[in-house]
Amino acid sequence: MTSAQAELRKPVPFDTALLDKLMDEAGMDVIVATSKHNVQYLLGGYRFFFYENMEAIGTSRYLPAVVYRKGKPEQAAYIGCAMEDWERELARFWPENLELGNVGSPATAEQVVAHVKRIGNGIRRIGVEAAFLPADAEAVLRRGLSNVEIADAVVPLERLRARKTPQEIGYLREASERVVESMLSTFKICRPGLTKQEVAESLRREEVNRGLVFDYCLIAVGNSFNRAPSEQRLAAGDIMSLDSGGNYKGYIGDLCRMGVLGKPDSELVELLDFVDDVQLAARKPIRPGARGGDVIAIGEKLVQASQHRTYTHFMAHGMGLVSHEAPRLMTLPRLSYTGYDTERVLESGMVISIETTMNHPKRGLVKLEDTVLVTETGCEGLGDSGRGWNIVGE
Protein backbone atom coordinates (compact mmCIF):
# COMPACT_ATOMS: atom_id res chain seq x y z
CA MET A 1 0.00 0.00 0.00
CA THR A 2 1.31 3.45 -0.89
CA SER A 3 1.44 6.29 1.64
CA ALA A 4 -1.37 7.96 -0.27
CA GLN A 5 -3.58 4.90 0.10
CA ALA A 6 -2.77 4.73 3.80
CA GLU A 7 -4.26 8.20 4.19
CA LEU A 8 -7.63 7.04 2.85
CA ARG A 9 -10.31 6.07 5.33
CA LYS A 10 -11.28 3.00 3.27
CA PRO A 11 -8.97 0.73 1.24
CA VAL A 12 -9.01 0.99 -2.54
CA PRO A 13 -10.85 -2.12 -3.81
CA PHE A 14 -8.77 -2.66 -6.97
CA ASP A 15 -5.11 -2.96 -7.94
CA THR A 16 -3.99 0.66 -8.24
CA ALA A 17 -0.47 -0.33 -9.28
CA LEU A 18 -1.88 -2.27 -12.23
CA LEU A 19 -4.20 0.55 -13.26
CA ASP A 20 -1.34 3.05 -12.99
CA LYS A 21 0.77 0.82 -15.25
CA LEU A 22 -2.03 0.45 -17.80
CA MET A 23 -2.65 4.20 -17.80
CA ASP A 24 1.05 4.87 -18.25
CA GLU A 25 1.12 2.52 -21.25
CA ALA A 26 -1.90 4.34 -22.72
CA GLY A 27 -0.42 7.76 -21.95
CA MET A 28 -3.32 8.76 -19.71
CA ASP A 29 -3.12 10.98 -16.64
CA VAL A 30 -6.76 10.64 -15.54
CA ILE A 31 -9.55 8.16 -16.24
CA VAL A 32 -13.23 9.06 -16.02
CA ALA A 33 -15.38 5.92 -15.82
CA THR A 34 -19.10 6.31 -16.54
CA SER A 35 -20.34 2.81 -17.43
CA LYS A 36 -22.30 0.87 -14.83
CA HIS A 37 -19.82 -2.01 -14.92
CA ASN A 38 -16.64 0.04 -14.53
CA VAL A 39 -18.16 2.32 -11.89
CA GLN A 40 -19.17 -0.82 -10.00
CA TYR A 41 -15.70 -2.32 -10.36
CA LEU A 42 -13.83 0.82 -9.30
CA LEU A 43 -16.13 1.29 -6.30
CA GLY A 44 -15.71 -2.30 -5.13
CA GLY A 45 -19.13 -3.65 -6.13
CA TYR A 46 -21.36 -0.61 -5.55
CA ARG A 47 -24.34 0.24 -7.75
CA PHE A 48 -26.97 2.75 -6.67
CA PHE A 49 -30.20 0.78 -6.23
CA PHE A 50 -32.57 3.53 -7.38
CA TYR A 51 -31.23 3.55 -10.95
CA GLU A 52 -30.32 -0.14 -11.15
CA ASN A 53 -32.71 -0.86 -14.05
CA MET A 54 -33.38 2.51 -15.69
CA GLU A 55 -31.15 5.60 -15.96
CA ALA A 56 -33.59 7.95 -17.71
CA ILE A 57 -35.21 10.63 -15.56
CA GLY A 58 -36.80 13.93 -16.54
CA THR A 59 -35.09 15.29 -19.63
CA SER A 60 -31.72 13.62 -18.97
CA ARG A 61 -30.28 10.57 -17.25
CA TYR A 62 -28.44 9.42 -14.15
CA LEU A 63 -24.75 9.27 -15.00
CA PRO A 64 -22.40 8.23 -12.18
CA ALA A 65 -18.69 8.84 -12.66
CA VAL A 66 -15.47 7.77 -10.99
CA VAL A 67 -12.48 10.07 -11.59
CA TYR A 68 -9.08 8.47 -10.96
CA ARG A 69 -5.69 10.17 -11.34
CA LYS A 70 -2.68 7.99 -12.03
CA GLY A 71 -0.61 7.41 -8.91
CA LYS A 72 -2.84 9.54 -6.70
CA PRO A 73 -5.80 7.53 -5.36
CA GLU A 74 -6.29 10.17 -2.64
CA GLN A 75 -7.41 12.52 -5.44
CA ALA A 76 -10.08 10.12 -6.74
CA ALA A 77 -13.68 11.31 -6.81
CA TYR A 78 -17.11 9.77 -7.10
CA ILE A 79 -19.86 11.82 -8.68
CA GLY A 80 -23.44 10.71 -8.13
CA CYS A 81 -26.86 12.09 -7.25
CA ALA A 82 -28.26 13.67 -4.09
CA MET A 83 -30.08 10.51 -2.97
CA GLU A 84 -26.74 8.75 -2.72
CA ASP A 85 -26.05 10.76 0.39
CA TRP A 86 -27.90 7.91 2.13
CA GLU A 87 -25.22 5.55 0.79
CA ARG A 88 -22.51 7.91 2.01
CA GLU A 89 -24.03 7.67 5.51
CA LEU A 90 -23.66 3.88 5.21
CA ALA A 91 -19.95 4.25 4.30
CA ARG A 92 -20.32 2.72 0.83
CA PHE A 93 -17.60 4.82 -0.81
CA TRP A 94 -13.82 4.75 -0.60
CA PRO A 95 -13.02 8.02 -2.48
CA GLU A 96 -12.61 10.96 -0.13
CA ASN A 97 -14.01 13.36 -2.73
CA LEU A 98 -17.77 12.93 -3.16
CA GLU A 99 -19.99 15.11 -5.31
CA LEU A 100 -23.59 14.00 -4.71
CA GLY A 101 -25.82 16.63 -6.27
CA ASN A 102 -27.90 17.20 -9.37
CA VAL A 103 -29.04 14.42 -11.69
CA GLY A 104 -28.22 14.70 -15.39
CA SER A 105 -25.35 13.87 -17.72
CA PRO A 106 -24.30 17.53 -18.27
CA ALA A 107 -24.37 18.08 -14.49
CA THR A 108 -22.07 15.08 -13.99
CA ALA A 109 -19.67 16.36 -16.65
CA GLU A 110 -19.58 19.79 -15.01
CA GLN A 111 -18.56 18.17 -11.72
CA VAL A 112 -15.86 16.16 -13.52
CA VAL A 113 -14.48 19.34 -15.06
CA ALA A 114 -14.48 21.11 -11.69
CA HIS A 115 -12.71 18.23 -9.97
CA VAL A 116 -10.03 17.87 -12.67
CA LYS A 117 -9.30 21.58 -12.38
CA ARG A 118 -9.07 21.31 -8.58
CA ILE A 119 -6.54 18.48 -8.52
CA GLY A 120 -3.82 20.52 -10.17
CA ASN A 121 -1.55 20.90 -13.15
CA GLY A 122 0.11 18.25 -15.25
CA ILE A 123 -3.05 16.64 -16.63
CA ARG A 124 -2.65 16.45 -20.38
CA ARG A 125 -4.63 13.37 -21.43
CA ILE A 126 -7.90 12.04 -20.02
CA GLY A 127 -9.39 8.63 -20.78
CA VAL A 128 -13.18 8.34 -21.02
CA GLU A 129 -15.50 5.49 -21.98
CA ALA A 130 -16.51 6.65 -25.44
CA ALA A 131 -19.34 4.12 -25.76
CA PHE A 132 -20.77 5.13 -22.36
CA LEU A 133 -20.39 8.91 -22.43
CA PRO A 134 -23.48 10.82 -23.66
CA ALA A 135 -22.90 13.45 -26.32
CA ASP A 136 -24.06 16.30 -24.08
CA ALA A 137 -21.64 15.22 -21.33
CA GLU A 138 -18.75 14.94 -23.77
CA ALA A 139 -19.48 18.44 -25.07
CA VAL A 140 -19.23 19.80 -21.52
CA LEU A 141 -15.90 18.01 -20.98
CA ARG A 142 -14.42 19.31 -24.21
CA ARG A 143 -15.53 22.89 -23.47
CA GLY A 144 -14.36 22.85 -19.88
CA LEU A 145 -11.08 21.04 -20.53
CA SER A 146 -10.19 22.49 -23.92
CA ASN A 147 -6.44 22.21 -23.26
CA VAL A 148 -6.66 18.47 -22.47
CA GLU A 149 -6.72 15.60 -24.97
CA ILE A 150 -9.63 13.19 -24.53
CA ALA A 151 -9.14 9.54 -25.57
CA ASP A 152 -10.95 6.21 -25.20
CA ALA A 153 -10.01 4.26 -22.05
CA VAL A 154 -11.75 0.97 -22.87
CA VAL A 155 -8.48 -1.02 -23.17
CA PRO A 156 -6.85 -0.10 -19.82
CA LEU A 157 -10.14 -0.57 -17.97
CA GLU A 158 -10.73 -3.97 -19.58
CA ARG A 159 -7.17 -5.07 -18.86
CA LEU A 160 -7.72 -4.05 -15.23
CA ARG A 161 -10.80 -6.31 -14.99
CA ALA A 162 -9.44 -9.25 -17.01
CA ARG A 163 -8.06 -11.23 -14.04
CA LYS A 164 -10.86 -11.89 -11.59
CA THR A 165 -10.36 -11.67 -7.84
CA PRO A 166 -11.39 -14.62 -5.62
CA GLN A 167 -14.58 -12.73 -4.75
CA GLU A 168 -15.41 -12.18 -8.43
CA ILE A 169 -14.74 -15.84 -9.18
CA GLY A 170 -17.15 -16.74 -6.40
CA TYR A 171 -19.82 -14.53 -7.95
CA LEU A 172 -19.27 -16.05 -11.42
CA ARG A 173 -19.41 -19.55 -9.96
CA GLU A 174 -22.70 -18.77 -8.24
CA ALA A 175 -24.13 -17.16 -11.38
CA SER A 176 -23.16 -20.12 -13.57
CA GLU A 177 -24.36 -22.81 -11.18
CA ARG A 178 -27.66 -21.07 -10.52
CA VAL A 179 -28.37 -20.54 -14.23
CA VAL A 180 -27.79 -24.25 -14.93
CA GLU A 181 -29.89 -25.30 -11.92
CA SER A 182 -32.68 -23.07 -13.25
CA MET A 183 -32.45 -24.68 -16.70
CA LEU A 184 -32.56 -28.21 -15.30
CA SER A 185 -35.61 -27.34 -13.18
CA THR A 186 -37.28 -25.79 -16.23
CA PHE A 187 -36.68 -28.92 -18.32
CA LYS A 188 -38.42 -30.96 -15.60
CA ILE A 189 -41.64 -28.95 -15.71
CA CYS A 190 -41.92 -28.72 -19.50
CA ARG A 191 -44.43 -30.83 -21.44
CA PRO A 192 -45.95 -30.96 -24.93
CA GLY A 193 -48.31 -28.08 -25.56
CA LEU A 194 -46.39 -25.40 -23.63
CA THR A 195 -45.34 -22.38 -25.68
CA LYS A 196 -41.78 -21.16 -25.91
CA GLN A 197 -42.95 -17.99 -24.19
CA GLU A 198 -44.26 -20.02 -21.24
CA VAL A 199 -41.00 -21.95 -21.00
CA ALA A 200 -39.00 -18.69 -21.01
CA GLU A 201 -41.22 -17.30 -18.26
CA SER A 202 -40.70 -20.46 -16.20
CA LEU A 203 -36.95 -20.08 -16.57
CA ARG A 204 -37.17 -16.43 -15.54
CA ARG A 205 -38.99 -17.39 -12.33
CA GLU A 206 -36.48 -20.15 -11.59
CA GLU A 207 -33.57 -17.73 -11.92
CA VAL A 208 -35.20 -14.98 -9.87
CA ASN A 209 -36.10 -17.48 -7.14
CA ARG A 210 -32.41 -18.39 -6.95
CA GLY A 211 -31.37 -14.78 -6.40
CA LEU A 212 -30.33 -13.99 -9.97
CA VAL A 213 -31.23 -11.01 -12.10
CA PHE A 214 -32.76 -12.55 -15.24
CA ASP A 215 -31.27 -11.15 -18.44
CA TYR A 216 -32.64 -13.26 -21.29
CA CYS A 217 -33.69 -16.69 -22.54
CA LEU A 218 -32.80 -17.83 -26.04
CA ILE A 219 -34.90 -20.91 -26.77
CA ALA A 220 -35.01 -23.12 -29.87
CA VAL A 221 -37.50 -25.99 -30.20
CA GLY A 222 -37.80 -28.78 -32.76
CA ASN A 223 -36.06 -28.18 -36.08
CA SER A 224 -36.45 -24.40 -35.91
CA PHE A 225 -33.41 -22.17 -35.48
CA ASN A 226 -35.52 -19.24 -34.24
CA ARG A 227 -34.48 -18.60 -30.62
CA ALA A 228 -36.96 -15.86 -29.72
CA PRO A 229 -39.65 -16.74 -27.13
CA SER A 230 -42.91 -17.12 -29.07
CA GLU A 231 -46.24 -18.94 -29.27
CA GLN A 232 -44.61 -21.98 -30.91
CA ARG A 233 -45.66 -25.04 -28.89
CA LEU A 234 -43.56 -27.95 -27.72
CA ALA A 235 -44.37 -31.33 -29.27
CA ALA A 236 -43.43 -34.89 -28.37
CA GLY A 237 -39.99 -35.77 -29.74
CA ASP A 238 -38.82 -32.14 -30.01
CA ILE A 239 -35.35 -31.13 -28.92
CA MET A 240 -34.91 -27.91 -26.94
CA SER A 241 -31.97 -25.63 -26.35
CA LEU A 242 -32.03 -23.20 -23.43
CA ASP A 243 -29.38 -20.49 -23.62
CA SER A 244 -29.74 -18.01 -20.79
CA GLY A 245 -27.97 -15.15 -19.12
CA GLY A 246 -28.61 -14.42 -15.46
CA ASN A 247 -26.37 -12.32 -13.28
CA TYR A 248 -25.37 -12.49 -9.62
CA LYS A 249 -24.22 -9.20 -8.09
CA GLY A 250 -23.61 -7.97 -11.64
CA TYR A 251 -21.53 -10.98 -12.76
CA ILE A 252 -22.97 -12.94 -15.69
CA GLY A 253 -23.81 -16.61 -15.91
CA ASP A 254 -24.21 -17.38 -19.63
CA LEU A 255 -24.63 -21.07 -20.51
CA CYS A 256 -26.57 -23.35 -22.85
CA ARG A 257 -28.00 -26.81 -22.17
CA MET A 258 -30.04 -29.27 -24.26
CA GLY A 259 -33.28 -31.14 -23.57
CA VAL A 260 -35.48 -33.58 -25.48
CA LEU A 261 -39.18 -34.38 -25.13
CA GLY A 262 -38.70 -38.13 -25.13
CA LYS A 263 -35.55 -40.20 -25.52
CA PRO A 264 -32.65 -39.08 -27.73
CA ASP A 265 -32.08 -41.40 -30.68
CA SER A 266 -28.62 -42.51 -31.77
CA GLU A 267 -28.21 -39.62 -34.21
CA LEU A 268 -29.01 -37.02 -31.54
CA VAL A 269 -26.56 -38.71 -29.17
CA GLU A 270 -23.86 -38.54 -31.86
CA LEU A 271 -24.55 -34.88 -32.60
CA LEU A 272 -24.35 -33.72 -28.99
CA ASP A 273 -21.31 -35.94 -28.40
CA PHE A 274 -19.56 -34.13 -31.26
CA VAL A 275 -20.43 -30.72 -29.84
CA ASP A 276 -19.21 -31.88 -26.42
CA ASP A 277 -15.94 -33.18 -27.93
CA VAL A 278 -15.26 -29.76 -29.45
CA GLN A 279 -16.06 -28.04 -26.16
CA LEU A 280 -13.76 -30.26 -24.11
CA ALA A 281 -10.93 -30.16 -26.66
CA ALA A 282 -10.99 -26.36 -26.60
CA ARG A 283 -10.40 -26.48 -22.84
CA LYS A 284 -7.20 -28.51 -23.13
CA PRO A 285 -4.82 -25.62 -23.91
CA ILE A 286 -6.34 -23.38 -21.23
CA ARG A 287 -3.74 -22.68 -18.56
CA PRO A 288 -1.62 -19.69 -17.44
CA GLY A 289 0.96 -18.79 -20.07
CA ALA A 290 -0.87 -20.41 -22.99
CA ARG A 291 -1.52 -18.38 -26.12
CA GLY A 292 -5.12 -17.18 -26.05
CA GLY A 293 -5.69 -17.83 -29.74
CA ASP A 294 -4.98 -21.55 -29.28
CA VAL A 295 -8.44 -21.98 -27.77
CA ILE A 296 -9.99 -20.72 -31.00
CA ALA A 297 -7.57 -22.63 -33.22
CA ILE A 298 -8.40 -26.01 -31.68
CA GLY A 299 -12.17 -25.48 -31.73
CA GLU A 300 -12.21 -24.25 -35.32
CA LYS A 301 -9.90 -27.04 -36.48
CA LEU A 302 -12.19 -29.74 -35.11
CA VAL A 303 -15.26 -28.13 -36.62
CA GLN A 304 -13.63 -27.72 -40.04
CA ALA A 305 -12.43 -31.34 -40.06
CA SER A 306 -15.93 -32.70 -39.36
CA GLN A 307 -18.87 -33.59 -41.58
CA HIS A 308 -20.82 -30.88 -39.74
CA ARG A 309 -18.56 -27.98 -40.74
CA THR A 310 -21.04 -26.21 -43.05
CA TYR A 311 -23.60 -25.68 -40.29
CA THR A 312 -21.49 -25.57 -37.09
CA HIS A 313 -19.88 -22.52 -35.50
CA PHE A 314 -17.31 -22.28 -32.69
CA MET A 315 -16.75 -19.21 -30.51
CA ALA A 316 -14.95 -18.25 -27.31
CA HIS A 317 -14.97 -14.94 -25.44
CA GLY A 318 -14.29 -13.44 -22.04
CA MET A 319 -16.93 -13.24 -19.30
CA GLY A 320 -17.40 -11.19 -16.16
CA LEU A 321 -19.33 -7.99 -15.56
CA VAL A 322 -19.73 -7.79 -19.34
CA SER A 323 -20.41 -10.50 -21.88
CA HIS A 324 -17.62 -10.64 -24.49
CA GLU A 325 -15.13 -8.77 -22.30
CA ALA A 326 -11.39 -9.43 -22.15
CA PRO A 327 -9.79 -11.71 -23.10
CA ARG A 328 -10.98 -11.10 -26.67
CA LEU A 329 -9.80 -14.18 -28.55
CA MET A 330 -11.32 -13.68 -32.01
CA THR A 331 -12.45 -10.89 -34.31
CA LEU A 332 -16.25 -10.48 -34.38
CA PRO A 333 -17.34 -7.58 -36.61
CA ARG A 334 -21.01 -8.06 -35.66
CA LEU A 335 -20.03 -7.29 -32.06
CA SER A 336 -17.68 -4.46 -33.06
CA TYR A 337 -14.43 -5.86 -31.69
CA THR A 338 -11.19 -7.42 -32.86
CA GLY A 339 -9.26 -10.30 -31.33
CA TYR A 340 -6.60 -8.13 -29.73
CA ASP A 341 -5.87 -10.80 -27.08
CA THR A 342 -5.23 -13.59 -29.61
CA GLU A 343 -1.45 -13.35 -29.29
CA ARG A 344 -1.45 -12.56 -25.59
CA VAL A 345 -1.09 -15.26 -22.95
CA LEU A 346 -3.86 -16.41 -20.66
CA GLU A 347 -3.54 -15.61 -16.96
CA SER A 348 -5.01 -17.28 -13.89
CA GLY A 349 -8.28 -15.64 -12.90
CA MET A 350 -9.44 -15.03 -16.45
CA VAL A 351 -12.86 -16.45 -17.31
CA ILE A 352 -13.80 -17.66 -20.79
CA SER A 353 -17.13 -18.64 -22.33
CA ILE A 354 -16.78 -21.45 -24.88
CA GLU A 355 -19.68 -22.26 -27.21
CA THR A 356 -20.26 -24.64 -30.11
CA THR A 357 -23.48 -24.15 -32.10
CA MET A 358 -24.75 -26.68 -34.63
CA ASN A 359 -27.67 -25.66 -36.83
CA HIS A 360 -28.39 -29.17 -38.10
CA PRO A 361 -30.51 -28.96 -41.28
CA LYS A 362 -32.85 -31.78 -40.16
CA ARG A 363 -32.59 -32.14 -36.39
CA GLY A 364 -32.49 -28.50 -35.29
CA LEU A 365 -30.17 -26.47 -33.06
CA VAL A 366 -27.72 -28.47 -30.94
CA LYS A 367 -25.52 -26.35 -28.71
CA LEU A 368 -23.43 -26.25 -25.55
CA GLU A 369 -22.03 -23.13 -23.93
CA ASP A 370 -19.72 -23.47 -20.94
CA THR A 371 -17.98 -21.03 -18.59
CA VAL A 372 -14.33 -21.90 -17.93
CA LEU A 373 -12.01 -20.41 -15.29
CA VAL A 374 -8.26 -20.25 -15.89
CA THR A 375 -6.73 -21.66 -12.70
CA GLU A 376 -3.12 -21.71 -11.46
CA THR A 377 -2.64 -25.21 -12.89
CA GLY A 378 -5.08 -25.40 -15.82
CA CYS A 379 -8.81 -24.73 -15.98
CA GLU A 380 -12.12 -25.46 -14.28
CA GLY A 381 -15.67 -25.48 -15.64
CA LEU A 382 -18.13 -23.36 -13.68
CA GLY A 383 -21.69 -24.70 -13.64
CA ASP A 384 -20.62 -27.85 -15.50
CA SER A 385 -23.69 -30.02 -14.77
CA GLY A 386 -26.42 -30.99 -17.23
CA ARG A 387 -24.18 -31.07 -20.29
CA GLY A 388 -25.78 -34.19 -21.83
CA TRP A 389 -29.31 -34.75 -23.11
CA ASN A 390 -31.75 -33.73 -20.37
CA ILE A 391 -35.05 -35.62 -20.60
CA VAL A 392 -37.86 -33.07 -20.51
CA GLY A 393 -40.54 -33.80 -17.92
CA GLU A 394 -38.37 -36.05 -15.76
Radius of gyration of the chain (CA): 23
Q: What is the identity of the amino acid at 391?
A: I
**Mean pLDDT of the region 311-330:** 96
Do 223 and 357 belong to one domain?
yes
- Structural domain range at position 358: 166-391
Is residue 346 within 8 A of residue 288, CB to CB? The reply is yes
Residue 21 in this model has a pLDDT that exceeds 80: yes
Question: pLDDT-based confidence at 7, cuts 50/70/90?
Answer: low
- How do residues 117-127 score in pLDDT, each as one tens digit? 999 789 999 99
Q: What is the pLDDT of residue 229?
A: 97
Q: What is the pLDDT of residue 70?
A: 97
**Mean pLDDT of the region 200-205:** 98
Q: Report the Cα 326 to chain-centroid distance in Å.
A: 9
Kindly report the average pLDDT of the chain as a whole number.
96
- How do residues 62-93 score in pLDDT, each as one tens digit? 999 999 999 999 999 999 999 999 999 999 99
Do 66 and 15 belong to one domain?
yes
Q: What is the pLDDT of residue 10?
A: 85
Q: What is the pLDDT of residue 301?
A: 98
Do 52 and 155 belong to one domain?
yes
Residue 142 in this model has a pLDDT that exceeds 50: yes
Tally Cβ neighbours within 10 Å of residue 101: 16
Strands 125-128, 149-152: pairing kind: parallel
Of 112, 140, 162, the residue that ends a domain is 162
Q: Which residues partner with 256 through β-bridges?
A: 243, 369
Is residue 243 within 8 A of residue 228, CB to CB? The reply is no
Q: What is the pLDDT of residue 394?
A: 78
Q: What is the identity of the amino acid at 248?
A: Y
Do 327 and 270 belong to one domain?
yes
**Mean pLDDT of the region 213-223:** 97
3-state secondary structure the chain: CCHHHHHCCCCCCCCHHHHHHHHHHHCCCEEEECCHHHHHHHCCCCCCHHHCCCCEECCEECCCEEEEECCCHHHCEEEEEHHHHHHHHCCCCCCCEEEEECCCHHHHHHHHHHHHHHCCCCCCEEEECHHHCCHHHHHHHHHHCCCCEEEECHHHHHHHHHCCCHHHHHHHHHHHHHHHHHHHHHHHHCCCCCEHHHHHHHHHHHHHHCCCEEEEEEEEECCCCCCCCCCCECCCCCEEEEEEEEEECCEEEEEEEEEECCCCCHHHHHHHHHHHHHHHHHHCCCCCCCECHHHHHHHHHHHHCCCCHHHEEEEEEECCCCCCECCCCCCEHHHCECCCCCCCECCCCCEEEEEEEEEECCCEEEEEEEEEEECCCCEEEECCCCCCEEECCC
Distances (CA, A) of 301 to 2, 222, 275, 308: 48, 28, 13, 12
CATH number at residue 51: 3.40.350.10
CATH number at residue 279: 3.90.230.10
Question: pLDDT-based confidence at 6, cuts 50/70/90?
Answer: very low
Do 9 and 157 belong to one domain?
yes
CA distance 190 to 365: 18
Query: Per the structure, how many domains does the chain have?
Result: 2
pTM above 0.85, yes or no: yes
Do 112 and 227 belong to one domain?
no
Do 127 and 170 belong to one domain?
no
Of 122, 142, 162, the residue that ends a domain is 162
Do 172 and 149 belong to one domain?
no
Do 371 and 352 belong to one domain?
yes
Residue 5 in this model has a pLDDT that exceeds 80: no
Do 194 and 298 belong to one domain?
yes
CA atoms within 13 A on the CB side of 165: 12
Of 136, 162, 188, the residue that ends a domain is 162
Do 194 and 95 belong to one domain?
no
CA distance 175 to 250: 9
Q: Report the Cα 131 to chain-centroid distance in Å.
A: 15
CA distance 256 to 291: 26
CA distance 66 to 149: 18
Q: What is the pLDDT of residue 1?
A: 39
Q: What is the pLDDT of residue 4?
A: 46
Do 95 and 185 belong to one domain?
no
